[in-house]
Amino acid sequence: MGIEGPFWRAIAVYRVASLVYAVVLMAQQRGYEQPVAGWSVIGVMALWTACSTYAYSVPALRRRPLLVLDLLVTMACLLATPYVQGSLQGGAGTMPVPATWVAGPVLAAAVHSGRRAGAAAAAVVAAGDLWLVRAPDEPVVINGVVLLFLAGVVVGHVAQLARQAEERMQEAVEMEAAQRERDRLARDIHDSVLQVLALVQRRGRQIGGEAAELGRLAGEQEAALRELVAARPAPRGTIDLRSLLLRHGSPEVTVSTPATPLLLPADMAREIAAAVKAALDNVRAHCGPQARAWVLAESGEGTVTVSVRDDGPGIPDGRLAEARANGRLGVAESIRGRVTELGGEVSIVSVPGQGTEVEITLPT
């Protein structure tokens, strides 16, 4: 039953206690002119108390139709009061037949759907209570109505807080389990894969030629793999943008990120990382495999900014427009297109002989 289990058990206890209270009032003949009708209503209340207690204990039955039926049965018992009290209705000290039992569906709606549902159920029960005919010379007492609304709102709010706490606890447990698995994999990978990649990188540089390029790729994968096994898992539905950007780190690419996580929606983080990769691919394609590049990520007030800067020859004036006209849409689609769809902006500053800087800014 999860975190809601204690709430449903408490409601069941409340229903039984309220039923006992209604039985005591009926036994004392507290303003009931038709006791036979009154005991019939008490019988319906007892039967529904047993049925609803079982129904609410089964999660599959705990749905809106059950809440509506609960409210209808309670209203029927409440509105039977004028027939039970007869001419004694509205007398001093008289109470509706269900008495405090009418709060049951209010509490159930609050626990199931939150404070708004609890307040709505309280409004229905309160309307029925106020509809009952009162003595002409007695003022309308709204104490019970106020208590119903307070119960619905407060219990609903507490139930929502409890569900949120349970979700966060489950999330923390999953993150801890994921981190333990990462630590185990990191130990195994460090003893095998990472050492091999480091060896390939060193030997490739020593040999030179095509082996140097192989060594460079091995170095990139080593850096990405180290970051992958070292990164802590982010909450469900979000990704730490730093972990995606640091995968691009290599001897030729320096990645600088904040010390604190840059948590973004998963889709947004992946699109930003893809745009950064496209910018780095352009650096390698147009500046050569040995060109240096720097990736800087930072967060501001409601924004995330990622810049990619290189030390290449720069982009000649009109080159981007010419490439777009010729159907080469690397910058237009891989970078600008992705960022624009996310509601962000891209600025490209290039000075011939001094390199190029691509700056991506997105709202968070």
The mean-pLDDT minimum among 103-112, 138-147, 321-330 falls in 321-330
Same structural domain, 124 and 242: no
Structure tokens at 184: 């185990």
35-57 and 104-113 helices cross at what angle (nearest 10)? 20
Residue 230 lies in a domain: no
- pLDDT reading at 45 higher than 80: yes
pLDDT given for residue 353 in this prediction: 81
Q: Which of 168, 195, 210 is the last residue of a domain?
A: 168
Considering 120, 148, 168, which residue would you say is the last residue of a domain? 168
Q: Is residue 86 assigned to a domain?
A: yes
Instruction: Give the three-class secondary structure for 94.
Output: coil
Residue 57 lies in a domain: yes
Q: Domain boundary residue among 168, 188, 215?
A: 168
Counting residues of the chain whose pLDDT is more than 70, the rounded percentage is: 83
193 near 217, Cβ under 8 Å? no
pLDDT given for residue 98 in this prediction: 85
Q: What is the CATH number of the domain that holds 310?
A: 3.30.565.10
Residue 135 has pLDDT above 50, yes or no: no
Quickly list DSSP for 150-184. Answer: HHHHHHHHHHHHHHHHHHHHHHHHHHHHHHHHHHH
Residue 305 DSSP class: E
Same domain, 243 and 334: yes
User: Residue 254: beta bridge partners?
Assistant: 294
Number of domains observed in the structure of the chain: 2
Contact between 106 and 125 under an 8 Å Cβ cutoff? The reply is yes
Dist CA 284 CA 306 (whole Å)? 19
Residues 127 and 8 in one domain: yes
d(CA 43, CA 38): 9
Q: Are strands 293-299 and 263-265 parallel, antiparallel or unpaired?
A: unpaired
For residues 269 and 241, the answer to whether their CB atoms sit within 8 Å is yes
User: Is the pLDDT reported for residue 89 higher than 90?
Assistant: no
Positive/negative CA dihedral, 188, 191, 192, 193:
positive
CA distance 253 to 151: 60
Q: Look up the domain containing 42 and give its range.
A: 2-168
Average pLDDT score over residue span 33-62: 90
236 CB neighbour count, 10 Å cutoff: 11
Asked if residue 121 and residue 251 are part of one domain, the reply reads no
CB-based contact 256:296 (threshold 8 Å): yes
**pLDDT value of residue 216:** 78
The answer to whether 358 touches 277, Cβ cutoff 8 Å, is no
Q: Which residues pair with 363 in a beta bridge?
A: 303
pLDDT digits (tens, 9 = 90+) for 266-294: 889 989 998 998 899 888 888 887 889 99
